[in-house]
């Protein structure tokens, strides 16, 4: 059952950044095909630590017998003490199968919202993911000179987060 409420992860604010790197994963073609059928509502998250500064490390889990948790690294950074910016790295074998968009969509629902800095949108892959999020009817999207934000329409703090975002 999908989690439709914002989760509480331990996040820290600082001026240092320490992202993690994914491990490579050996997968069969059949396993890759199964992963392509995963929907965002099938993805669950748990906190596994942090860098002690500004990142929460979270781990993916799926309702299937394929463990990709070491090949998908997700770090959530707290920006301006309110906005959740995601940093995702994939093992090479997991790229190009549609997991990125599903992971982002799941995170919007689990975290309540996701923010991206305008500079990160220069990556064509990230831009494609954000275009998909912006067209999702379950998401409220806004942009300004600093960046973009996608907020779950189920987030009880939607208006407050949107007001904060629009004030920067």
With respect to residue 11, please indicate whether it lies within any of the assigned structural domains: no
Q: 41 burial class (0-12, 13-18, 19+ CB within 10 angstroms)?
A: middle
> Where residue 81 sits, what CATH number does that domain have?
3.40.630
The per-residue pLDDT for range 75-105, each reduced to its tens digit, is: 999 988 899 999 888 899 898 888 989 999 9
Q: What is the pLDDT of residue 18?
A: 54
Report how far residue 91's alpha carbon sits from residue 75's, in angstroms, rounded to the nearest whole number: 15
Do 57 and 51 form a contact (C-beta atoms < 8 A)? Answer: yes
Tell me the residue length of the chain: 168
pLDDT, residue 19, reads: 61
Quote the domain boundaries for residue 133.
Answer: 29-166
Domain for residue 12, yes or no? no
> pTM of the entire structure?
0.84
Q: Please determine, for residue 5, whether its predicted confidence score (pLDDT) is greater than 50.
A: no
Average of per-residue pLDDT values in the chain? 86
In the chain, the number of structural domains is: 1
What pLDDT was estimated at residue 51? Answer: 79
- Give dist(CA 7, CA 28) in Å, integer: 33
Answer yes or no: are the C-beta atoms of 146 and 117 closer than 8 Å: yes
């Amino acid at each position: 059952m999908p989690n439709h409420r914002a989760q509480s992860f331990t996040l820290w604010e600082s001026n240092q950044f320490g992202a993690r790197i994914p491990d490579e994963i050996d997968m069969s073609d059949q396993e890759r095909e199964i992963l392509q059928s995963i929907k965002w509502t099938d993805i669950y998250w748990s906190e596994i630590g942090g860098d002690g500064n500004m990142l929460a490390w979270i781990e993916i889990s799926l309702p299937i017998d394929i463990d990709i948790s070491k090949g998908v690294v997700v770090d959530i950074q707290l920006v301006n003490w309110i906005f959740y910016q995601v940093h995702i790295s994939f093992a090479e074998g997991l790229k190009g199968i549609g997991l990125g968009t599903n992971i982002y969509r799941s995170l919007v629902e689990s975290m309540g919202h996701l923010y991206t800095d305008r500079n990160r949108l220069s990556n064509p892959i990230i831009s494609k993911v954000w275009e998909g999020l912006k067209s999702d009817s379950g998401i409220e999207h806004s942009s300004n000179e600093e960046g973009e934000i996608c907020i779950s329409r189920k987030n009880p703090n939607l208006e407050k987060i949107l007001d904060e975002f629009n004030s920067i």
